[in-house]
Structure 1
Amino acid sequence: MATLRKAYELRLHISLKYVTANVMDTSNGQIVAQVSTIEHALKNAFDLGRTTKNPQTAIVVGEILSRRIKLEALSHPVLKHGIHANVCKQIQKKGVEDENANSRIVWSIINSLRDNRIRVTVIDPDCNEV
């Protein structure tokens, strides 16, 4: 069985107050695109920076990340082939204590990326949406 090369991987950090999403080039460990609700513009806009319980937070993070990915794709042509997401790993990370809340945040970001025409390949299809 051939191994799947994960050239670009979605990595998330979810805390009680903030959501940070990175797209990392796993071949060299460089962050290609990043967005966080800790950023001044996002923190003040929509009042997103106060809590991850706001359902719009994950959607906005996905929308902004998709725009940044599209800009980076101009200089990283391979990025046009999409990114990979290990969903179960992202859900099980520490952060929000409720695993269902983590799941909703992770899937909201992934669905937002997909809605904005970013190809996201889920590595672990057994980790279903809540």
Structure 2
Amino acid sequence: MTVLKRYVLRLFLSLKYIMANVVDRNNGRIVATASTVEHSIKNSLKCGSSCNAKAAGAIGEVVAMRLKVEGLKLGRRGVHVDVANEIEKKRLGSKTKIWAVVNALRSNGVKLILDDETCEDSS
């Protein structure tokens, strides 16, 4: 059985760290991931005690690059993301971080399918 929403973006946010994963739901495999915990990303961001929207945008860019390196053929499917659900799961101040990741993925050529089109206003 094939899952309709095959590739899904999952975000994990804390006060200090941001992690983004693109998961293939057909086989449960993470196809691309990036985190501010990674040594190379951590040193280039200088987040200090907290990670901001700039760091979130960098994570989105790294995930997009890794999807291209992986040679992932998303075709017409794209990567699904439910922004409203991600915002609801996280604490209040994380809305700008979530949109920073989403917008960075979009601007780097990743086809995103927003599951909740009413949330497309990124303000």
**TM-score, reference length from structure 1:** 0.83
Report the counterpart of residue 129 of structure 1 in structure 2.
Answer: 122
SS of the residue 2:84 aligns to: helix
1:32/1:14 Cα in 2 relative to 1: closer, same or farther (>3 Å)? same
1:50/1:70 Cα in 2 relative to 1: closer, same or farther (>3 Å)? farther
Identity across aligned pairs (percent)? Answer: 39
| Matched residue type, 2:35 | S
Distance 2:53 2:86 in 1: 18
Aligned residue pair count: 119
Report the counterpart of residue 105 of structure 1 in structure 2.
Answer: 97
Report the counterpart of residue 26 of structure 1 in structure 2.
Answer: 25
Unaligned runs of at least 5 residues, structure 1: none
8 A Cα contact 1:42 1:49, kept in partner:
no
Which aligned runs of 4 or more in structure 1 are off by greater than 6 angstroms? none
Distance 1:49 1:20 in 2: 16
Report the counterpart of residue 16 of structure 1 in structure 2.
Answer: 15
8 A Cα contact 1:37 1:49, kept in partner:
no
Distance 2:31 2:53 in 1: 26
1:49/1:70 Cα in 2 relative to 1: closer, same or farther (>3 Å)? farther
Cα RMSD for the two superposed structures: 1.7
Report the counterpart of residue 89 of structure 1 in structure 2.
Answer: 85
